[in-house]
Copies of this chain bind each other. A is one copy, B any other.
Amino acid sequence: MTEPLRLGIAGLGTVGAGVVKIVQRQKQLLSARAGRPIEISAVSARSRDKDRGVSLDRYGWEDDPVALAKRADVDVFVELVGGDDGPAKAAVEAAIATGKHVVTANKAMLAHHGQPLAEAAENAGVSLRYEAAVAGGIPVIKALTEGLAGNGISRVMGVMNGTCNYILTRMDDAGLTYEEAFAEADGLGYLEADPELDVGGIDAAHKLSILAAIAFGTRVDFDAVALEGIGAITIEDIRRAGDMGYKIKLLGVAQMTGRGLEQRMSPCLVPDTSPLGQLVGGTNMVVLEGDAVGQVVLRGAGAGEGPTASAVLADVMDIARGVRLPTFGQPAATLAAPKPASAQSPGAYYLRLLLTDKPGALAKVATVLGEAGISIDRMRQYDHPGDLAPVLIVTHKTARPNLDRALGDLPGTGVVTEAPVALRIEEV
């Protein structure tokens, strides 16, 4: 195969411009490795005149990504428009319908519409690839789908939103409040236009739901992800967790249990000596656990021009080399309907309560926990100014419904002055 592979790139933001740069800069290298030239036929973006630091003169232009997707001189439609619906999805559908391969970085689109898109691609005999959609430059889709294809996967975990990890790291190492760290991340341009996508855990949950589909052979089920953002984490929590040898991370966990498929994206405590605990700043990490391979840990940049463009190119190169795999590792039509877990698997929890400082307050809390079937591993009351007493409790492993019952009953004690913080301690 020596015919060039011709790309149509829709979306010329940071990542799109990065892809153009690599195609231009690494012309010889890509051609040597793919056995054929990689070329760009045409591009599409909102504004034609914007300076993106690359010359687009030799490429065709389309205002409409759908028109780009349908061009006869495009073999691979590279979708970097973003948005779970709208032009991105319309253009991907048009590309598939006209027999073009698709490479996308669009986690939201795949989390919401992955199943019909995968079925359409497979019916049309084209590839739908998305290495850039999960954990940026880390080749995790490939590692899970191909590298660990001989494994029954037991659990997939990851810190997959660099912005949240940056905020938590800055709270930890610079002593910033959540609001201060958030403002700093915002000033650095790390936040999405809708910051809730980051700090609410939605973006990371999109990624987790995609990994779960591959890992467990089930249809993407984003709506079943138990979702909790980092907005309630205080510097107090980070300090107290640190005292006990833990770091707080926005951690995604997907595992197949006897109760069904469990998917969680929430702030968790992890040991500070573990690879996940040692991850600082905007870096991403994914942990894959297989019955044969054990634990494989992948670490790298989760965002940014170069890393994300690198992942886009990985998919492009696979297509150029003739690699054709089902979207989620097995034919989409054979993916099982996921059965969401009836309850989360048992875990130990970190609880922080602010109690009125009067005799018997602690006893009332202990009684509520005991009645919910929760046994206490460690409990500590901290010195405090004023008449409120911060109390820290680490529970033994308990069923989540027990915890929820206790959290429901605590206000009734009359000694708890604000909503308790409850964070899972994940065994990693």
Which B residues are in CB contact (< 8 Å) with A310? 148, 150-151, 290, 292-293
A14 within 8 A of B: no
A295–B281 alpha-carbon span in the complex (Å): 14
Contact bitstring A280-310, B, C-beta under 8 A = 1, else 0: 0000000000111111111111001011011
Contact between chains at B306 and A291 (CB < 8 Å): yes
Which B residues are in CB contact (< 8 Å) with A290? 310
Contact between chains at B300 and A299 (CB < 8 Å): no
A325 within 8 A of B: yes
Interface 9-residue window, one of A131-139, A232-240, A246-254: A131-139
Scoring A292, A307, A313 by chain B CB atoms within 10 A of each residue's CB, the highest score goes to A292
Contact between chains at A299 and B297 (CB < 8 Å): yes
A275 within 8 A of B: yes
Contact bitstring A323-338, B, C-beta under 8 A = 1, else 0: 1111001110010000
A273–B294 alpha-carbon span in the complex (Å): 24
* Pick from B18, B32, B326: contact of A330, CB under 8 Å: B32
A245 within 8 A of B: no
A55 within 8 A of B: no
A311–B290 alpha-carbon span in the complex (Å): 12
| Shortest distance between the CB of A109 and any CB in chain B (Å) | 22
* Pick from B34, B293, B325, B334: contact of A321, CB under 8 Å: B325
A150–B143 alpha-carbon span in the complex (Å): 16
Contact between chains at A306 and B330 (CB < 8 Å): no
Which B residues are in CB contact (< 8 Å) with A330? 32-33, 35
Which B residues are in CB contact (< 8 Å) with A99? none
Which B residues are in CB contact (< 8 Å) with A322? 324
Contact between chains at A306 and B292 (CB < 8 Å): yes
Which B residues are in CB contact (< 8 Å) with A137? 292-294, 296
| Shortest distance between the CB of A125 and any CB in chain B (Å) | 13
A342 within 8 A of B: no
